């Protein structure tokens, strides 16, 4: 089981990360879990190489996965969803992926959560996009080129994940084949027109422009596990500016 936790979004997420790091909080944690999401199949650490080793990580994961044959249709796995479009844009920008936003009423978005499963888990789509569902209109203030009304919107995230622009927009009644074709076209265009980010220069440019993404909880790590973020050092800590590394 693989879970990506956006750990600066909620206190609950940070508390969950601590369960894998003996009470400490750091910006990443890795552990192989059983399909029930509870049982540990390996020890935990900061990343795959610390738990499985640099050379054996993929082999170990394949070996473990082979012990848990799928009991249901993996094509029906639930569709990704974020806490907010704001967060979704930020993560999509960091990962340099097209964001697929399903915008509509609660009834409409709830229906799409089921019908979009075959789309999001299609071999041509999975891992290449981020998905989000939203019932409001706040996102329209930061995403340009959007059409009024509900829809399935392919969004190019801005350089720093604070805004975006519409690449393609479909009605909520579009069939799966049309959605897949549209998303693949958007992804192809995105890949051709998007320069790969270089972390150091990207951060430097963000600092010069004064870019800052306000988080829900304080940025930083608690490496000594005392329950407080180590902004200014301390046992096992390093100096931190108190701001999130830019995407």
Based on the domain organization, do 135 and 149 belong to the same domain? Answer: yes
Confidence at 216, pLDDT banded by 50, 70, 90: confident
Most confidently predicted of 25-29, 150-154, 218-222? 150-154
Q: Which of 218, 215, 214, 222 is nearest to 17 (CA)?
A: 222
Token couple for 58: 């993929």
Could you say which of 193, 220, 237 is where a domain stops?
A: 193
pLDDT value at position 74? 82
- Classify residue 160: in a domain, yes or no: yes
Picking from 177, 193, 209, the residue at the C-terminal end of a domain is 193
How far are the Cα atoms of 14, 19, 31, 113 from residue 221, in angstroms, in the given order? 10, 14, 19, 34
Q: Per-residue pLDDT for 106 more than 90?
A: yes
What is the percent of the chain where pLDDT is above 70?
90
Q: Is residue 25 part of a domain?
A: yes
Model confidence band, residue 3 (pLDDT cutoffs 50, 70, 90): low
Q: Quick count: other Cβ atoms within 10 Å of Cβ 143?
A: 22
Give the residue-averaged pLDDT of 182-202.
95
My answer on whether 176 and 82 are in the same domain is yes
Domain boundary among 58, 73, 88: 73
Per-residue pLDDT, averaged over 206-213, amounts to: 92
Residue 147 maps to a domain: yes
Judgement on whether residues 182 and 110 belong to the same structural domain of the protein: yes
Tokens, residue 229:
């973020």
Q: Does 93 reside within a domain?
A: yes
Residue 122's CATH number: 3.40.30.10
Q: How many domains is the chain partitioned into structurally?
A: 2
Q: Is residue 137 part of a domain?
A: yes
| pLDDT > 90 fraction of the chain, expressed in percent and rounded | 61
Angle at CA 143, nearest 5°, toward 140 and 144?
100
Task: Indicate whether 103 and 176 sit together in one domain.
Answer: yes
- ∠ CA 34-36-39 to the nearest 5 degrees? 50
Does 85 share its domain with 59? no
The answer on pLDDT for 71 being more than 70 is yes
Residue 5: per-residue pLDDT: 66
Query: Is 236 domain-assigned?
Result: no
Domain of 33 in residue numbering reads as 11-73
Residue 220 lies in a domain: no
Same domain, 108 and 127: yes
| 74, 121 contact by CB (below 8 A) | yes
Please tell me whether residues 164 and 81 are part of one structural domain: yes
């Amino acid at each position: 089981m693989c879970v990506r936790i956006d750990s600066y979004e909620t206190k609950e997420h940070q508390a969950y990360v601590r369960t894998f790091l003996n009470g400490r909080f750091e910006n990443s944690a890795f552990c192989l879990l059983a399909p029930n999401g509870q049982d540990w199949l390996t020890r935990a650490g900061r990343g795959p190489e610390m738990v499985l080793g640099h050379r054996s990580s993929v082999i170990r994961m394949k070996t473990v996965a082979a012990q848990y044959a799928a009991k249901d249709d993996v094509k029906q796995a639930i569709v990704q969803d974020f806490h907010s479009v704001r967060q979704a844009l930020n993560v999509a920008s960091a990962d340099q992926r097209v964001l697929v936003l399903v915008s509509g009423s609660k009834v409409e978005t709830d229906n799409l959560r089921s019908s979009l499963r075959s789309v999001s888990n299609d071999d041509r789509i999975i891992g290449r996009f981020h998905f989000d569902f939203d019932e409001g209109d706040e996102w329209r203030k930061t995403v340009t080129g959007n059409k009024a009304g509900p829809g399935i919107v392919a969004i190019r995230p801005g350089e720093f994940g604070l805004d975006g622009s519409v690449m393609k927009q479909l009605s909520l009644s579009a069939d799966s084949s049309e959605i897949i074709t549209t998303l693949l076209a958007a992804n192809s265009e995105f890949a051709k027109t998007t320069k790969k980010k270089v972390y150091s220069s990207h951060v430097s440019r963000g600092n010069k422009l004064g870019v800052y993404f306000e988080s829900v909880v304080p940025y930083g790590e608690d490496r000594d596990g005392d329950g407080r973020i180590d902004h200014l050092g301390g046992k096992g800590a390093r100096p931190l500016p108190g701001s999130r590394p830019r995407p």
